[in-house]
Amino acid sequence: MERKNFISLFGLGAGSLIISTCLGSCGKSDGPTPNPGPGPSPGSKVDFSIDVSTNADIKEKGWTIQKGVIIALSGSDYIALGGACTHQQNPMTYDSGSNTFPCSLQTASHGSAFDVNGVRLRGPAIGNLKKYNTTLTGNTLRVFES
């Protein structure tokens, strides 16, 4: 085999390998990856307020996600936790019946849930959710970290 033919065949083989690797990574994953919305900027502290009397999600569902934080009405208290699951960053939800925060992606390979303190109850998540402080003044709920 001539050198020119060898280099040509080697180049085609390497190119095929690179293209197949790139295309393979574009295949199906194990489920959709919802976006929980923008979270706090790295290095910045969470500190914002919402009017709970006009927030449609809190009024209808008892919970909402604002600025990357899930806020839920648990009894007469507001709970604020990190709004993205520590497994694959899917948005969190709130289950008032069990007073838990399950990941929105409930499939065979997902299904993490956390308690009202953000502590992991079941995986595949291995980390806890960050818990934020809340204070209610009238209808204004302040969510912050110290």
Would the pTM of this model clear 0.85, i.e. be above it? Answer: no
Confidence of residue 13 (pLDDT cuts 50, 70, 90): low
Q: Where are the beta strands (DSSP E) in the chain?
A: 47-51, 63-66, 69-74, 77-82, 101-102, 113-114, 120-122, 131-137, 140-144
Give the closest residue to 129 by CA, choosing from 70, 72, 78: 70
One domain for residues 70 and 117: yes
Give the separation between CA 60 and CA 37, rounded to whole angstroms.
20
One domain for residues 62 and 3: no
Given a cut of 70, whether residue 112 has pLDDT beyond it is yes
* Contact status, residue 87 vs residue 125, Cβ threshold 8 Å: yes
Confidence of residue 25 (pLDDT cuts 50, 70, 90): very low
Identify the sign of the CA torsion 58, 62, 66, 71. positive
One domain for residues 14 and 57: no
Token reading at 125? 């998540």
In the chain, the number of structural domains is 2
One domain for residues 19 and 56: no
pLDDT at position 90 is 85
Residue 78 DSSP class: E
Domain of 53, in residue numbers? 47-144
pLDDT in tens, 68-91: 999 999 999 999 999 998 988 889
Does the residue 37 lie in any domain?
no
Does the residue 52 lie in any domain?
yes
Given a cut of 60, whether residue 52 has pLDDT beyond it is yes
The mean per-residue pLDDT over the stretch 6-18 comes to 52
